[in-house]
């Protein structure tokens, strides 16, 4: 086997196909041998056997062959997985990287275009507003809003102590609630 041929698509495909076919054939043979061994041992009594001893013994021996059959089947599927992984991780990797780089460059260019358009729009808006005719005569100051008195909605502003001002004289609860009639 040429090890350099193993690192090509055709070489690895041929290797994995050969290995897969060998394991599939082995798995079939192990299954056939397991069936033959089980049936022969079930029919062959050994002195001192009880009523289920033959079947139990046949099952224990055939179970090992069935495990070999299962392992060969898994090895055949692992051979296919080897080829698929090689194709995915080695052969197709440069193409995937090139595609990812192209997408990244496209996203970068679209972001730069969007930022450029936003800056151009902002500058256009600024220039338009600066060049627009003014409603007031040049050299005059703009009219200020008249002063408004706003009544406090917050009851805490009524008490200087709560607002952080000077302290009011000590009050009691009776100052805040009307005294009831005592009688």
Better-predicted residue by pLDDT, 43 or 173: 43
H or E segment and range at residue 109? helix 93-131
B/e letters for 9-31, b = 16+ CB within 10 Å, e = fewer, are eeebeebbeebbeebbebbeebb
Q: In whole angstroms, how far apart are CA 60 and each of 33, 38, 55, 64, 67?
A: 14, 9, 9, 7, 11
At 40-68, the pLDDT tens digits run 999 888 888 888 888 999 999 999 999 99
Of 124, 146, 143, nearest to 135 by C-alpha is: 143
At 15-47, the pLDDT tens digits run 999 999 999 999 999 999 999 999 999 988 888
Q: What mean pLDDT is predicted for residues 109-118? A: 86
pLDDT at 119: 84
Mean pLDDT, the chain, whole residue set? 82
């Amino acid at each position: 086997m040429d090890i350099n041929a193993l690192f090509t698509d055709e070489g690895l495909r041929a290797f994995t196909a050969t290995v897969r076919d060998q394991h599939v054939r082995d798995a079939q043979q192990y299954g056939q041998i397991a069936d033959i061994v089980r049936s022969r041992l079930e029919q062959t009594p050994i002195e001192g056997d009880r009523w289920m001893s033959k079947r139990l013994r046949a099952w224990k021996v055939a179970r090992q062959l069935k495990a070999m059959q299962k392992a060969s089947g898994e090895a055949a599927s692992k051979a296919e997985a080897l080829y698929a992984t090689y194709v995915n991780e080695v052969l197709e990797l440069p193409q995937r990287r090139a595609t990812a780089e192209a997408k990244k460059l496209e996203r970068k260019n679209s972001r730069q275009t969007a930022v450029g358009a936003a800056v151009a729009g902002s500058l256009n808006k600024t220039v338009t507003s600066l060049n627009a005719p003014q409603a007031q005569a040049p050299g005059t100051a703009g009219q200020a809003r008249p002063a408004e008195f706003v009544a406090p909605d917050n009851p805490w502003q009524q008490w200087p102590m709560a607002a952080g001002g000077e302290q009011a004289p000590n009050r009691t609860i009776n100052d805040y609630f009307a005294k009831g009639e005592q009688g």
